[in-house]
A and B are shown apart, each in its own frame.
Chain A
């Protein structure tokens, strides 16, 4: 029986019409090294998650215990830690508010992409999914989206699909230098002009009406 850690939580979130948010943050230094921060915040649905954790199964997924969730997080932490060019990996599993965070430093942005590849391989995902989401060359930072999310989404059961209806995402990229230009019209730069933020809805990204791709050129 499959034991997927976040999908059951997501399913339950749907059952009670709540929401969650996903945050992706990259802080790039001029020398190409940087910091990555990824957050999934289920805080608004914590009552439901507390209930789901008392169940054995939801939508065909076995519900992991709190201990199993912590164990899974430490596995991810270890996997990232053992990747060349990655250091200071820290996961934070807040089982009161259900906020899951991972922080890490990378020497080169390609090291970060390697973590995604390792993670994909560890989950035995055979689908040809590219994992080089970020590139940084000649003062140009590119966030690309190569995952066939629509196709993957279409394969989900109806109940599982509903999970994403109210989900939100935020992408923040920070730099040492100021931003000269950027390609995604929905993104907004910070007051200092050294950071850029993109807010949106996960379902719109899946359906293609919103893009997360962005090419940021620095001064």
Chain B
């Protein structure tokens, strides 16, 4: 893991001529990443990174081919580095583009890594090397490209049995070629097979030999049956089994060779094409305006783009074969969107700005309707300041249901079409409309309008006693009592409702049931209490309803305040975050880890635990629908003494590394 982080860092330490390489990323790449090397280098200089003991160990052991001074790799560490995924002719390719500033230094690394074992191929505009059928590297004096290509022969779709020609449009050319070669090869071999010797002939000739050689007194007729001993039978069985195993092994090896040659046949031309497009193509994409990079904020430290629809359907096709009707499922709903994220390593926090933009106007409209909801402010009145974390959601239930009907219709129609050619594509509409007739969305939305808030108040330490069986000096059993600490969650869950009478009936229902006896489930002071026996995870769970707010909580104070309508304070930033977003979450990871220490075995890895505790920060996530897209901001506020949030990551790896070294020394 650490090795990859370091390699990534070296590769991404990159700057200004960045757009050059961005223009090499195909506009139809369903996944792409950009690392802003200059920013990275400004935040944690490569010189600082190479001083970390864990990096030094990596350089000495696993990454020996790299120079000790990581600025001498020939890689332009002050430039932007790009990575992308693309599927070409059923070959999945993950491509990494590395800017170079000193090709001779870079070639030294290649020499150190591959030595004489692999040949460098010189092309007119670039040099290349392939270390395996999957790993390929090419470079010129400006940049290098690493391609990790893989090909899996798609499985035959089970649906094609009913519809044999359904996937003709997506036929895999090489597979057909190789298979036909295999058939031709088989025919050829068949011709070569010598006719099986006639067993009768053999007998005759043997007989002839016998009669010629020496005269025997053997009686003619039935040969005497020689009964084999048990050992002989077992030996024969073992021999036959060994022969069978040998044949199977050979068959397997042949199959592997066949798969290997198919893979090479598929992969090599695709990789060559990627190299040619990158090194020889004159027409370069204007990266700034391309779909892939138009949202890349120049100030961000890294950027990720994904065309969720293309990515999922390409991965699906690569692994499971092509079926245009089934692939229609992926055209549905939120998967038919583009995703992009700008990431920032700021001084005291890591900030991720994510956007999911649906491509389809209808989906956009649906999401607009779903997110047309603000949290019922009444829910925020009964939370209080005792908060370790919360998660809120404000959605329009009726719009969600209507949207789900649409998605189900498209999905089921696609599935149905994949089974039969005669499907009109509207069959599922009837079914879903029938379901919709039975479900009253408005009534459901009245009962659960779509506002909910979960609050973790505390993880309380509780003392539990237990019995341990001990022995006296003469090994007579003695029952001793011990105590141990456990954590007990203290939480509240609040939802709003516009149908109080139904909820009231629901809450009253268990009162007279035998399962909940009067002592287990009680109505007192206007709220309901489920009382658990001793030594349960929870002691009491309170349920109540007042003024459109339904509350399930372990806190007596909160439920009583709801029933008496006593407003409790809540931090203004929490209030703002929950009110202004469709979904908001906040967790104080440090306090949660601290509280859960009780449950962790004190002997095990407590030092690692302390590192986690010292450095764990706070997580905040906010999501809302804005300008036709779902916009989410995730923040991780760091703790501890670190220059910035990027260095924070390196420092923590280092702390764990040092601790691990100490532990290894101690065990030695």
Contact = CB atoms under 8 A, between A and B. Distances in A.
A51 to B, nearest CB: 5
Interface string A165-196: 01000101010000000000000001110111
Contacts of B600: 17
Interface residues of B, number: 21
B471 A172 contact: yes
A43 B532 CA distance: 18
B536 A47 contact: yes
A97 interface: yes
Contact of A195 (B469, B474, B537): B474
Interface stretch (B3-11, B460-468, B546-554, B555-563): B460-468
Contacts of A39: 469
Contacts of A172: 471, 475
Contacts of A174: 475
Contacts of A122: none
Nearest to A99: B467
Contacts of A206: none
Given A16-B599, A46-B535, A197 B471 contact: yes
Contact of B535 (A50, A99, A194, A195): A50
Interface in A1-48: 16-17, 21, 23, 25, 37, 39, 41, 43-44, 46-48
Given A39-B469, A43-B468, A50 B533 contact: yes
Contacts of A44: 466, 468, 482, 484
B469 A23 contact: yes
B474 A190 contact: yes
A17 B484 CA distance: 13
Given A191-B474, A195-B474, A195-B475, A43 B467 contact: yes
A130 B212 CA distance: 63
A47 B475 contact: no
B609 to A, nearest CB: 13
A43 B475 contact: no
Contacts of B464: 46-47
A189 B129 CA distance: 69
Contact of A17 (B467, B475, B537, B601): B601
A132 B467 CA distance: 31
A191 B475 CA distance: 9
A185 B246 CA distance: 47
A183 to B, nearest CB: 18
Interface string B530-545: 0011011100000000
A51 B467 contact: no
Nearest to B601: A17
Contacts of A21: 468-469
Contacts of B473: 190-192
Nearest to B538: A51
Contacts of B474: 190-192, 194-195
A97 B467 CA distance: 7
Nearest to A25: B477
B483 to A, nearest CB: 10
B466 A43 contact: yes
B475 A51 contact: no
B655 interface: no
A51 B536 contact: yes
A46 B535 CA distance: 7
A36 B477 CA distance: 13
Contacts of B475: 172, 174, 190, 195-197
A46 B466 contact: yes
Contacts of A50: 532-533, 535-537
Contacts of B482: 44
Interface in A113-136: none
Contacts of A196: 475
B486 interface: yes
Interface string B448-470: 00000000000000001011110
A63 B537 CA distance: 17
A96 B535 CA distance: 9
Interface string B493-532: 0000000000000000000000000000000000000001
Contacts of B477: 23, 25, 37
B535 A17 contact: no
Given A17-B599, A17-B600, A195-B475, A47 B469 contact: no
Nearest to B475: A195
Contacts of A194: 474
Nearest to A48: B537
Contacts of B601: 17, 166
Contacts of A190: 473-475
A177 to B, nearest CB: 14
B599 A47 contact: no
B467 A47 contact: no
Interface of B: 464, 466-469, 471, 473-475, 477, 482, 484, 486, 532-533, 535-537, 599-601
Interface of A: 16-17, 21, 23, 25, 37, 39, 41, 43-44, 46-48, 50-51, 96-97, 99, 166, 170, 172, 174, 190-192, 194-197
For the complex of A and B, the 7 pairs showing the least CB-CB separation, nearest first, are: A195-B475, A43-B466, A191-B473, A43-B467, A44-B466, A190-B475, A50-B536
Given A41-B468, A43-B466, A194-B474, 11 more contacts: A17-B601, A23-B469, A41-B469, A43-B468, A47-B464, A48-B537, A50-B536, A51-B537, A190-B473, A192-B473, A197-B471
27 contacts: A17-B599, A17-B600, A23-B469, A25-B477, A37-B477, A41-B468, A43-B466, A43-B467, A43-B468, A44-B482, A44-B484, A46-B466, A46-B535, A47-B486, A47-B535, A47-B536, A50-B532, A51-B537, A96-B535, A97-B466, A99-B467, A170-B469, A192-B474, A194-B474, A195-B474, A195-B475, A197-B471
